[in-house]
Every structure is written in C-alpha cells, then in structure tokens.
C-alpha cells in the first residue's frame, strides 16, 4: 500500500526566511515519483516540483527545492526566502503503481501542511 505522511499540520515562518515542510512516504514500487503542490485559499492546486525515484540529484525549481533522502523515504520541500504569497496549504504526493505489474498508477496525497508567512 502507498502512504504519504505529512506530520506538520501547520507551520509558521518569517518573511525572507527559509522553511522546510516534511514528507515521508512508503511504497513497494521501485519506480515512483514525488510531487509537491501548493493550494492557496482560492482552491486551485499548483504544481511546484517533481522528483523521480531514480533521479540522482535533488530537484530544484526557483525558490523550491526537494530534499530527497531515498533510504529514509523522505522528500521534504524547502522554500527559500519566504514571501507573503507563499502562505497556503502544501501537499506532498506520490505517484506509484497500484499493482505489481506496474501498469496502473495513482497519485496519493498527504493531508497537507498549512504554511503561514508572517511579515
């Protein structure tokens, strides 16, 4: 079974500081992908960053980086130089096979972390 765990229901950070949002996962599929999404109060789900299980380097996208520790099954999101507009719900998600044949996939989400950036 696939599982994503986000242990921080809420986080606070000061503007311009860096923040790390935690995510651990569990899957028996050797080929999987890890995603982070941002959901502001308006509701849309915004794709931030992707890390493949075979990628050797940690993914980076602008101020977002993914701290991928495969042995520990963790995929933490680091946001550098936080901005007020970063205040939102952040979801970690994993795409993995639903069956042993690996032909059917689904994206499993964690419960999310509500990030508040203080001025």
Partner 1 sequence: DSGVTQTPKHLITATGQRVTLRCSPRSGDLSVYWYQQSLDQGLQFLIQYYNGEERAKGNILERFSAQQFPDLHSELNLSSLELGDSALYFCASSGLGVTGNTIYFGEGSWLTVV
3-class SS of residue 85: helix
Dihedrals phi, psi of 117, to nearest 5 degrees: -100, 120
Between 18 and 46, CB nearer to partner 1: 46
Between 19 and 59, CB nearer to partner 1: 59
Least distance (Å) from partner 1 to the CB of residue 30?
Answer: 13
Least distance (Å) from partner 1 to the CB of residue 39?
Answer: 9
- Residues forming contacts to partner 1 in the complex (CB under 8 A) are 31, 33, 35, 37, 43-47, 50, 52, 91, 95, 98, 103-109, 111-112
Least distance (Å) from partner 1 to the CB of residue 98?
Answer: 5
Least distance (Å) from partner 1 to the CB of residue 60?
Answer: 15
**Contacts of 24 by beta carbon, 8 Å cutoff, 6+ apart:** 4, 5, 7, 72, 73, 74, 75
Between 19 and 49, CB nearer to partner 1: 49
Between 101 and 119, CB nearer to partner 1: 101
For 27-61, what is the HEC assignment?
CCCCCCEEEEEEECCCCCCEEEEEEECCCCCCCEE
Find the Cα–Cα–Cα–Cα dihedral 112, 31, 65, 14, rounded to 10°.
Answer: 20
């Amino acid at each position: 079974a696939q599982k994503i765990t986000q242990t921080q229901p809420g986080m606070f950070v000061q503007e311009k500081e860096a923040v790390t949002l935690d995510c651990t996962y569990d899957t028996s599929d050797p080929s999987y992908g890890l995603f982070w999404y941002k959901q502001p109060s308006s509701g849309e789900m915004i794709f931030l960053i992707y890390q493949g299980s075979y990628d050797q380097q940690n993914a980076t996208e602008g101020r977002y980086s993914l701290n991928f520790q495969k042995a520990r099954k963790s995929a933490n999101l680091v946001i550098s130089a936080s901005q007020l507009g970063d205040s939102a719900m952040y979801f970690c998600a994993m795409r993995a096979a639903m069956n042993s044949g690996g032909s059917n996939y689904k994206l499993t989400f964690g419960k999310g972390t509500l990030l508040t950036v203080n001025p």
